Amino acid sequence: MNELCAMNGHYRFYQLETFFEKVAAIGFKKAEIWTGPHHYFMDYQGYEDIGKLQTLEKQYGVKIEVICPEQTNPKPNNMATNNPQAQKRVEAYFKNAIDVASQLQAKFVLVTSGWAFLDEPVDEAWKRSVAMMKKLTAYASQKHVRLAIEALQKDESRLVNSVASLQAYLQDVNDTNLGVCIDFGAMAGAKETIEDYFKVFGKRIVHVHFVDGKPVGHLAWSDGSRNMQVDLKTLDTFGYEGLLSLESVNSIYFEKPYVADQKTMKQYQECSKE
């Protein structure tokens, strides 16, 4: 079975060390770090001492495999921004994320297409996003880091929010260093399936945001209506060999985020016995 990977997004009201302490105790060995500034600060000008993350990795035996930068509205790091000065900041920001991943020897930096204003032409924002992504995939290649792009939900972006739009985007970027992340929340929101993704992208799928839903959202498993056993078998059928990151980002988990992770780990362990 593919290995579960903890995420810190729903630990936002706890210190980062508490996240590492809790997930290590639950049994996680891998982590995807969302760069919320109160956990690990990073902007276009620089980033915190990488030693902070390396120390936590070593102390708790949890390897950071993915860096997930802040990038959805209203965050300033919009891949499709139409502001020339902002474009420079966005490029620098994501290059910093790639540098952090490189120094940590992480596998991926998680990216999105960004978003367009509702009062501007979508095709213009699309072109800007593709141009930015081309620069970043090239830079990531130099640093021996791969980018993994996930679709957003329709209320988040008019650019990439389905298998079809993601396929068109990958064709325009035209760089194999840009892999695909299936976000189960966005997938369910688009009324698409794991099969839909693999039939189009195959081995280009390198990462999964593994969440439950009713049928949409970012819930811990057992809090939604998805069948984990069926989903795991489907991933196995298509030969998926990557991590399963638990992006259980929902305010219902903010007070006791570790309970959400315990629920998912318990169900995952039960599935592994079947």
Q: In this predicted model, what pLDDT tens digit does every residue of 39-91 receive, in sequence order?
A: 999 999 999 999 999 999 999 999 999 999 999 999 999 999 999 999 999 99
pTM of the full predicted structure?
A: 0.95
Predicted local distance difference test score (pLDDT) of residue 272: 87
∠ CA 86-91-93, rounded to 5°: 90
- Give the span between the Cα atoms of 188 and 102, in whole angstroms: 32
235 close to 194: Cβ distance less than 8 angstroms: yes
- Domain boundaries, given as residue ranges, for the chain: 4-273
4-273: which CATH topology? Answer: TIM Barrel (3.20.20)
Short-list 207, 124, 204, 208, CA closest to 170: 204
- Sign, CA torsion 159/164/166/171: negative
Q: Which pLDDT value is given to residue 196? A: 98
C-alpha angle 272-32-264 in degrees, rounded to nearest 5:
35
pLDDT at residue 273 in the model: 84
Distance CA 159, CA 111 (A): 13
**pLDDT value at residue 100:** 98
Ranges of residues in the chain with a pLDDT under 70 are none
**DSSP bridge partners of 208:** 182, 244
- CA torsion angle 268 151 225 34 (round to 10): 50
The CB-side HSE value for 67 (13 A sphere, CA atoms) comes to 29
Q: What is the rounded CA–CA span in Å between residue 268 and residue 3?
A: 10
- Which pLDDT value is given to residue 229? 96
How confident is the model at residue 216, as a pLDDT? 72
Look at the block and give the residue holding tokens 């210190």: 15
For the record, the structure tokens of 74 come out as 């209203």
pLDDT at position 15 is 98
